[in-house]
């Protein structure tokens, strides 16, 4: 009788532990990811941390309604939700060995703390095509591709809940061989051709 009682108690303990694990896992799936922007002065540390990651766009596209928005509308929403970009054309032009072919309008670098992952997940959002296209370019850690739809839903929610904010950017179109200045009040965007800004130099 005592042995049977001990076996039954062990069985109940195992079942309880398994139920607790399943319940916590299920709850974790409904917890939102926390997205933290990397500041420009933190990029070296960020790059050192993500060296071991392989970045991919798989699982990041077609997950949100913002993919069909103009890049300028997305830029204004990013400004409202997260503040200034991690990098702009102005900031990257000051980097060593910068080349014109690397010209972008903006880059936002993030770490995503997801309740299911055991480490922060790198997420990078950038615009190669400047103010003329739709959507943006994404890159995230390929080992967490299964979590990307959930992360993108959290990202979309952050953008849609934010009030679009004003911003000012520069962009160089290699295809058109022209410089542009973009000014926005958050809702209306002005894109005008300009001469190369004197403070932006290229090697």
Q: What is the CA radius of gyration of the chain?
A: 22
pLDDT digits (tens, 9 = 90+) for 50-107: 988 888 888 788 767 888 899 999 999 999 999 999 999 999 888 877 776 667 899 9
Question: How far is the CA of 119 from the CAs of 53, 112, 116, in angstroms?
Answer: 12, 9, 9
Q: Is the dihedral of CA 165, 169, 174, 177 positive or negative?
A: positive
- Kindly state whether residue 49 falls inside one of the protein's structural domains: yes
Give the torsion through C-alpha atoms of 96, 101, 107, 112, to 10 deg.
-90
pLDDT tier at 1, thresholds 50, 70, 90: low
Over residues 167-174, the mean pLDDT reads 94
Domain that holds residue 160: 33-194
- Kindly state whether residue 9 falls inside one of the protein's structural domains: no
- Kindly state whether residue 1 falls inside one of the protein's structural domains: no
| Predicted structure pTM score | 0.81
- Kindly state whether residue 117 falls inside one of the protein's structural domains: yes
How many domains, the chain?
A: 1
> What is the phi-psi region of residue 121: left when phi exceeds 0, alpha when psi lies from -120 to 50, beta otherwise?
beta
- Structure confidence at residue 199 (pLDDT): 87
- Structure confidence at residue 23 (pLDDT): 35
Judge whether residue 185 has pLDDT over 80.
yes
- Kindly state whether residue 153 falls inside one of the protein's structural domains: yes
Residue 76: closest CA among 89, 66, 63, 62: 66
- Kindly state whether residue 203 falls inside one of the protein's structural domains: no
- DSSP assignment string, 59-109: TTTTSSGGGGSBHHHHHHHHHHHH-S-SEEHHHHTTSTT--GGG--SEEEE
- Kindly state whether residue 156 falls inside one of the protein's structural domains: yes
- Kindly state whether residue 170 falls inside one of the protein's structural domains: yes
pLDDT digits (tens, 9 = 90+) for 111-163: 999 888 888 999 999 998 899 989 999 999 999 988 888 888 899 999 999 99
pLDDT tier at 21, thresholds 50, 70, 90: very low
């Amino acid at each position: 009788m005592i042995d049977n009682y001990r076996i039954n108690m062990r069985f109940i303990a195992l079942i309880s532990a398994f139920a607790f694990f399943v319940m916590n896992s299920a709850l974790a799936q409904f917890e939102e990811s926390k997205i933290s922007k990397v500041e420009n002065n933190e990029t070296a540390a960020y790059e050192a941390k993500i060296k071991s990651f392989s970045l991919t766009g798989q699982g990041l596209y077609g997950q949100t309604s913002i993919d069909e928005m103009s890049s300028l509308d997305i830029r204004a929403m990013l400004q409202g939700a997260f503040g200034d970009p991690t990098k702009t054309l102005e900031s990257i032009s000051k980097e060593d060995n910068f080349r014109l072919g690397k010209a972008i309008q903006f880059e936002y670098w993030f770490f995503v703390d997801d309740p299911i992952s055991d480490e922060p997940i790198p997420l990078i959002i950038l615009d190669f095509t400047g103010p003329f296209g739709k959507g943006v370019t994404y890159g995230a850690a390929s080992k967490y591709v299964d979590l990307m739809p959930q992360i993108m839903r959290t990202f979309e929610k952050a953008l849609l809940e934010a009030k679009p904010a004003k911003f000012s950017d520069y962009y160089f179109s290699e295809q058109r061989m022209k410089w542009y200045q973009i000014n926005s009040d958050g809702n209306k965007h002005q894109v005008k051709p300009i001469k190369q800004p004197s403070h932006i130099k290229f090697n």
